[in-house]
Amino acid sequence: MKIEIMNDKVIKSIKNIATKYKVEQIILYGSRSRKDNTDTSDYDIAIIAPSAIDKDKTMLYHEIIEIETLKKIDIVFINEETDSDLLENINKDGVIIYEQIGDKD
């Protein structure tokens, strides 16, 4: 049985939402990126959007968690206060599912 890390429809929805905001990267991490997830595993995603204002981050968060999926989506915004152990896990196991192309202004 093949266990997919993330449904293509969910990835497409996340990418479409990310393009509306100043998002540099969205990274899937955790059990799904390591491919040791179960059928009930949630989606853990990290968002790098240093130039996005708080209001936009809030809107981005709500749009992503409202994506139609049977799995819960947990979101963390990466910033200078992000826990170093979490950053290490994201860097080690993370899979980039969205990356801004071109100017990051």
> Is residue 43 included in any domain, yes or no?
yes
Q: What's the pLDDT tens digit per position in 58-72?
A: 999 999 999 988 789
Instruction: Supply the pLDDT for residue 56.
Output: 94
> Is residue 104 included in any domain, yes or no?
no
> Is residue 36 included in any domain, yes or no?
yes
Structural domain count of the chain: 1
Range of the domain at 53: 8-99
Concatenated DSSP letters of 52-76: S-HHHHHHHHHHHHTS--SS-EEEE
Mean pLDDT over the full length of the chain? 89
CATH number for position 58: 3.30.460.10
Instruction: Supply the pLDDT for residue 103.
Output: 58
pTM of the model: 0.86
